[in-house]
Amino acid sequence: QGERKGTNKYYPPDFDPAKHGSLNKYHHSHPLRERARKLSQGILVIRFEMPFNIWCDGCQNHIGMGVRYNAEKKKVGTYYTTPVYRFRMKCHLCVNYIELQTDPGNCDYVIVSGARRKEERWDPGDSTQVLPNTPEQRERLAVDPMFRLEHGVTDRGVLERATPTLTRLQEAQDAWKDDFGLNSRLRRRFREEKKTLREEEEEAAALRARAGLSIPLLREEEEDRRLAALL
């Protein structure tokens, strides 16, 4: 298969594949070029994207989630068998350096230094959401059959208590799905109201003609009927 674009490489006259192996070794350079300038220290330069909103400690400016930096990536430890990486980058608004670190235990990032996180988190339990299991609970679920049984019974109880609310929400959502039916009922209601108004206008016009009145007549109210009955 043909490549997307042609790749032409210049091989010097003294290049020996058996001796040099590749052009990178011939030029005494790394395939990653400048990104690998600190590879001997275990640091690789990568393109890092800010995982959440932060405040820079140097310039006190807000840095939004998704802003990208050239960050130095370094392995600083392990969580069980998962490596923990630290990212060091320079703020694009000042000379301050920001360091973040992965947190595999909570599937999140933590700020090591140079910034503070803009708190936009909340407790899922306050909104009656289903909470994920903590690492300790997952470990007990894997090794403790009795805890697994109790956990399942508790989950079923929560589901039973939440079922009436979920059912009402589902019924309300289903009621708005039939756009054609809603539109038909609304148009039918407007036609009936329009017919009633037209009949009342015809009765009022006939009454004005019989009484020789030229003033508009107001709609009859319940108070008018009560006073007429008393008279």
Residues 6+ away with beta carbon under 8 Å from 58? 91, 93, 94, 95, 96, 114
Contact (CB, 8 A) for 85 and 101: yes
Measure the CA–CA gap between 31 and 176, rounded to whole angstroms: 58
pLDDT per residue rounded down to tens, the chain (231 residues): 555 666 778 888 888 888 888 888 888 888 788 888 888 888 899 999 999 999 999 999 999 999 999 999 999 999 989 999 999 999 999 999 999 999 998 889 999 999 999 987 776 666 655 555 667 777 777 788 888 888 788 877 777 777 777 777 777 777 666 777 778 888 999 999 999 889 888 888 888 888 877 777 777 788 888 888 887
Contact (CB, 8 A) for 82 and 73: no
Torsion of CA 187, 190, 191, 192, to 10 degrees: 130
- pTM, two decimal places: 0.51
Measure the CA–CA gap between 99 and 207, rounded to whole angstroms: 86
Structure tokens at 73: 């990536």
Beta-bridge mates of residue 97? 90
What value does the CA radius of gyration of the chain take, rounded to a whole number of Å? 37
Report angle CA 10, 12, 14 to the nearest 5 degrees: 155
Measure the CA–CA gap between 79 and 77, rounded to whole angstroms: 7
Measure the CA–CA gap between 108 and 125, rounded to whole angstroms: 19
Measure the CA–CA gap between 46 and 88, rounded to whole angstroms: 10
